[in-house]
Copies of this chain bind each other. A is one copy, B any other.
């Protein structure tokens, strides 16, 4: 399209982005095909590709190595190097840390988990995060200099634009932190920080059943309850970054009392349906995983555990009905620890929802387990890398 003349640096970047975008769409291509698809001359394409090879973004391969071999002399194909760039996604939580590393195609090439439950200071948490990112990169054989963006999720209210954690009641010493700045200093690349539940909904859009849902809600249901809301491709963050804090919904009749005045306690809804409430129903006393035995037993069909799941599902529906009435979502994906109860939980939620709302969304259990937040963080980082590599700014 732009084949010379004018501002050379800009033209070169336009041509490079165009070549990269075509290779991303079409997979490996011969130079001649790349010339056709980019509407650039063969000579310009060859120059652009040479420069991209120098930058480590593309490479030449023999046709036989990248697909079925045509007859005759093997053609040289140009392809994107998946390992040309990597992103890191980090889930920073009060109990554990999960780091995932993805290549340019979005494939997860490494993962690392850490126990954060004994960390009491922000500096301790930041050092812990750095260590586990280093371990994940080493495990995947990924050179740190190929990491082009980092995404990080944390509980609490986040000013996503500046990457600042305003407050997170569940994490010690975790408020008013320039988290993006601190991580950028550690990793030397762009860093994006987002509320953990907002990242979970991005992951459901990316890897889950939510690809085509116009209004997609991901409810994270564990010790606390929160919802991430996507309207098209736009995260509904709210005026104060507090949209989707459904844990603070009134829970049921007994909870239709004056609401919360601070963020140090659980909200009425999560108090009624979270893992602590389940443990209270069963008399379980495990501190680390208060409802684990009951949830597993329900999945296996244990009658007593199924009764507990039914009770908790009814409370869940009572509390969550307003969200369905207000948003009329296409799809609600339920994730978080409580989903270990599996299909019986989904069945109970669907049954109790009948007749309670004008319209009913499709419901699904998340298939992402406890990886949703880290995957969403990687997606956020990958969006940035793709913007920089494949589009002309």
Residues of A within 8 A of B (CB): 213-215, 227, 229, 231-232, 234, 236-246, 248-250, 252-253, 256, 258-261, 263, 318, 321-323, 325-330, 355-359, 361
Which B residue sits closest to A231, measured CB to CB?
B231
CB pair B256–A256 under 8 Å, yes or no, is yes
CB contact under 8 A between A249 and B325, given known A234-B234, A238-B359, A355-B258: yes
Given the contacts A245-B325, A355-B259, A214 and B239 also touching, CB distance less than 8 Å: yes
Task: Select A327's contact among B213, B243, B258, beta carbons within 8 Å.
Answer: B243
The answer to whether A322 and B326 touch across the interface, beta carbons within 8 angstroms, is: yes
Contact in complex: A326, B328 (CB < 8 Å): no
Count this chain's copies in the assembly. 2
Assess whether B328 is in contact with A243, with CB atoms less than 8 Å apart.
yes
Q: How far is the CA of A31 from the CA of B325 in the complex (A)?
A: 55
A359→B242 contact, CB < 8 A: yes
Query: CB-CB < 8 A to A258: which residues of B?
Result: 355-356
Q: Is the CB of B238 within 8 A of A321?
A: no
Bound CA–CA A246/B324 (angstroms): 10
- A249-B322, A323-B322 known; A329 and B256 CB under 8 Å? no
Q: How far is the CB of A244 from chain B (nearest CB, A)?
A: 7
Of B232, B243, B356, which one neighbours A326 at CB under 8 angstroms? B243
Contacts of A236 in B (CB 8 A): 215, 231, 327
Nearest CB of chain B from residue A111's CB, rounded to whole Å? 33
Which of A239, A249, A330 lies at the interface centre, i.e. has the most chain B CB atoms within 10 A of its CB?
A: A239
Report A246 CB to chain B, min CB distance, Å: 6
Q: Are A256 and B318 in contact (CB under 8 A)?
A: yes
Within 8 Å CB of A355, what residues of B?
A: 258-259, 261
Whether A357 pairs with B326 at a CB distance below 8 angstroms is no
Contacting pair B215 A243 (CB below 8 A): yes
With A355-B259, A357-B259 as known contacts, state yes or no: A242 contacts B323, CB within 8 Å: no
Task: For A246, list chain B residues within 8 Å (CB).
Answer: 325-326
What would 28 A/B residue contacts be, using CB atoms closer than 8 Å?
Answer: A215-B239, A229-B326, A231-B234, A234-B234, A238-B327, A238-B359, A239-B329, A239-B330, A239-B359, A240-B328, A241-B328, A242-B325, A242-B328, A242-B358, A242-B359, A244-B326, A245-B325, A245-B328, A248-B325, A248-B357, A250-B321, A252-B256, A259-B321, A261-B355, A263-B358, A322-B322, A322-B323, A326-B327
